[in-house]
Structure 1
Amino acid sequence: MQGLKRTFRAAVASAALSLTALSAGAAEPVRIGEINSYTGLPAFTIPYRQGWELAVEEINDKGGVLGGRMLEVISRDDAGKPDDAVRVANELVSNEKVDILAGTYFSHIGLAVSDYALRSKKVFVAAEPLTDAITWDKGNRYTFRLRPSTYMQAAMLVDRAAALPAKRWATVAPNYEYGQSAVAVFKQLLKAKRPDVEFVGEQWPAQGKIDAGSTVQALAASQPEAIFNVTFGPDLAKFVREGTTRGVFDGVSVVSLLTGEPEYLDPLKGEAPDGWIVTGYPWDQIDTPAHKAFLDAYQARFKDYPRLGSIVGYTTFKAIAAAVDKAGSTDSEKVADAFKGLKVESPFGGIEFRAIDHQATMGAYVGSIAVKDGKGAMTDWAYSDGADYLPSDEVVLKRRPQ
């Protein structure tokens, strides 16, 4: 098993994945350079990869784009490092001659590739990075983002947080762009709705290296009535376990970004934190026709259930295909123009890439966690449309370079 894991990691890190139905003499493919942290965060990125694989297969099975050109994906691992991401992006553009760049997970890596996209004048579809800067303060003509941003998801959570009686809040978040942005926005929006709240403590563990004991102890010392959590992945599991063991969450409300996503909720099993208010993805409870069609296709193809990453990968590549067809070309300037105002159907329903800031209006599910049959599940959830959780055009124009 260890040998297989090492082989897989090496293959992901060094080999190009080509998904194409081309035969000799067929039309030139549309080449997409895909970059992500496969070895750094496989819980999200492997389902994400399966999502885009399914999308590419569906698109090519229907004849591809531009009247018969297949999609060909060349995938690279960024090793969770901005410098590596920029290096492989340049390799994909210069050596592999890709038409479009896509992917990335971590916010600081997404920002690095976005800057490269601007310099190289190559369209980049940021699938996952949540930092507001990627579409606002550091936004550019060539970068578009699919997932709801930290601002959007924080705003969704603030709706429920503001209804809590708690006045004393503490925060815990990874000490990099995503965590810093999420905490700043949550504070801003909650104070706007509840001027009576105060923030009495902050903890900033290094991403992937949380000292859960000292973090929980410091939070408890501030005597909060509620906590805003931004940790995820293995850090989240350690935080939940330590906080539960020490009773820090007893009588304390917790509002948490991403924790309801199966990637992060499922590994907690029976230790899932009951009652936390979260954003997430209750995949087994959504009964819309669009989601059912996606779920059936995904389970038939991979014999597994989808995670949120699966939705992100799938919709990212569906959007790329739609933009190329709308542009009638793979020319970067034409594709960039086509993405502005582009409307795409997703498993969550219709979304639009806004012309003003290149942010998609994809939403998120907001609900609470309950432990059922020995595992965590989302309850009392509702879909929050991303279009309803964006600031005014005036605010965007002040923050985004013109």
Structure 2
Amino acid sequence: MKNFLQNFAPLKWVVAVSLLSMATITSAQGVIKIGEVNSYKAQPAFLEPYRMGMELAVDQINQSGGLLGKQVELIRRDDNANPGDAVRVAEELVSRDQVDLLTGTFLSHIGLALTDFAKQKQVFFLASEPLTNKITWDNGNRYTFRLRPSTYMQVAMLVPEAVAMNKKRWALVYPNYEYGQSAAATFKALMKAAQPDIEFVDEQATPLGKVDAGSVVQALADAKPDAIFNVLFGADLGKFVREGNTRGLFEGREVVSLLTGEPEYLDPLKNEAPNGWLVTGYPWYGINTPEHDAFLKAYQQKFNDYPRLGSVVGYATIMSLAEGVKKAGNTNTEDMIQAFRGLELMSPFGPIRYRPEDHQSTMGGYVGKTKNVDGKGVMVDYRYVDGASVLPSAQEVQKLRPAQANK
């Protein structure tokens, strides 16, 4: 009997391993994996709240029964703000972790790298935050969709009031990479079309994260512009504002500034926050709609903190993917593409739709003025601009997007 049991022991291990393998397979089949790539270490001001927004959405989905009867798992990877690293970790997510869907990216050149990766590998990719127009136009492809309003959309939200300032001599300052270049080019084109006599008297293109604020401010002052268009954000914005305040650059001059009204970038300015800048942003403290109230309450309950714009983007990214999966009935790439073309859902900013013609969502943004109130910057006189109202028509998009992108 003893010898028999000894001989039988290996068989018991085989059975045990087989049962474990079956359990692992069953577990894997019960999970929908979302792979997310982003510059967490390089851009924490935006991406930490963004992560929290994603986690809130995943929690809500899983607590309500998951998707298609499966739980949702979010697998995040840092891209080190490097396109090569972004592609490498995306490949690992797809081949090793076997994620069902790919999303993320913050910096525009990283977003473009994953846009191309999605095309080459034929995987579904929802670009959550990168703003360059090329994501959905010049470099657009059938596998890539985008949530956040593009540089074109955000600039178009600001142009009517910038034109109404009736200023002829403009100077520009922007980070010298894809996003900044795209924003500057769009501003010049839209302003020139609306105000033919406009002059652009100076451009300061600064290294991302390494602005020499003193020399930039002095160069802008020497150009004697009537108004300034600013695209700097994060630590670069703080240095620019501080130096500009010290040297009186903003006195008597209008400033139009992308992103500056976002709490991520406005709050750190504290008592240096400027007055009267025309900005895009997120006045979370004054949005009174049912959908935003529900989001705000849930966010504050979970994190005991107020949301930033990144929080909204992260939350809406996961909820977009969830609605796409529900509509498709699975996570198959081709079915997800068809589901996202025309996909409609409710976001904290209200209803949005992913346009079939360019895969861009109609999420809009808030436009208003900055004001320093008791040593803290806030947005005042703000209004929500629906993204659909500042997007080109389907006919115009045909000229901007590769013909094969929708096939």
Write the distance in 2 (CA, Å) between the matches of 1:282 and 1:196: 34
Write the distance in 1 (CA, Å) between the matches of 2:52 and 2:203: 37
Q: Over alpha carbons, which structure has the higher Rg?
A: 2
Which stretches in structure 1 are left out of the alignment for 5+ residues?
A: 1-21
Are residue 158 (structure 1) and residue 159 (structure 2) matched?
yes
Residue 394 of structure 2: aligned partner = 393
The alignment's C-alpha RMSD in Å is 1.2
- Residue in structure 1 matching 2:66, options 64, 67, 72: 64
Which stretches in structure 2 are left out of the alignment for 5+ residues?
A: 1-23
- Residue in structure 1 matching 2:52, options 46, 50, 54: 50
Write the distance in 1 (CA, Å) between the matches of 2:166 and 2:271: 28
Residue 360 of structure 2: aligned partner = 359
Go from structure 1 to structure 2 and tell me whether the alpha carbon gap of 1:23 and 1:91 turns closer, same or farther (over 3 Å shift).
Answer: closer
3-state SS, counterpart of residue 164 of structure 2: coil
Write the distance in 1 (CA, Å) between the matches of 2:65 and 2:402: 38
Go from structure 1 to structure 2 and tell me whether the alpha carbon gap of 1:369 and 1:25 turns closer, same or farther (over 3 Å shift).
Answer: closer
Residue 40 of structure 1: aligned partner = 42
Write the distance in 2 (CA, Å) between the matches of 1:325 and 1:24: 21
Residue 228 of structure 2: aligned partner = 227
Residue 213 of structure 1: aligned partner = 214
Write the distance in 1 (CA, Å) between the matches of 2:27 and 2:391: 47
Cα offset for 1:394? 2.1
Write the distance in 1 (CA, Å) between the matches of 2:393 and 2:362: 14
Cα offset for 1:196? 1.9
Cα offset for 1:387? 0.3
Are residue 325 (structure 1) and residue 326 (structure 2) matched?
yes
Residue 14 of structure 1: aligned partner = none
Residue 20 of structure 2: aligned partner = none
Go from structure 1 to structure 2 and tell me whether the alpha carbon gap of 1:355 and 1:370 turns closer, same or farther (over 3 Å shift).
Answer: same
Write the distance in 1 (CA, Å) between the matches of 2:336 and 2:152: 26
Q: 1:332 is aligned with what amino acid?
A: T
Write the distance in 2 (CA, Å) between the matches of 1:376 and 1:85: 34
Cα offset for 1:159? 1.3
3-state SS, counterpart of residue 344 of structure 1: strand
3-state SS, counterpart of residue 175 of structure 2: coil
Cα offset for 1:70? 1.1
Q: 1:35 is aligned with what amino acid?
A: V
3-state SS, counterpart of residue 309 of structure 1: helix
Write the distance in 2 (CA, Å) between the matches of 1:277 and 1:140: 34
Q: 1:82 is aligned with what amino acid?
A: P
Residue 203 of structure 2: aligned partner = 202
Write the distance in 1 (CA, Å) between the matches of 2:112 and 2:27: 38
Residue 142 of structure 2: aligned partner = 141
Structure with the higher helix share, 1 or 2: 2
TM-score by length of 1: 0.93
Cα-to-partner distance string for 1:92-137 (whole Å, 9 max, x where unaligned)? 0010000110110000000001100111111111000000000000
Count residues in correspondence: 380
Cα offset for 1:399? 1.3
Identity of aligned residues (%): 62
Residue 379 of structure 1: aligned partner = 380
Q: 1:79 is aligned with what amino acid?
A: N
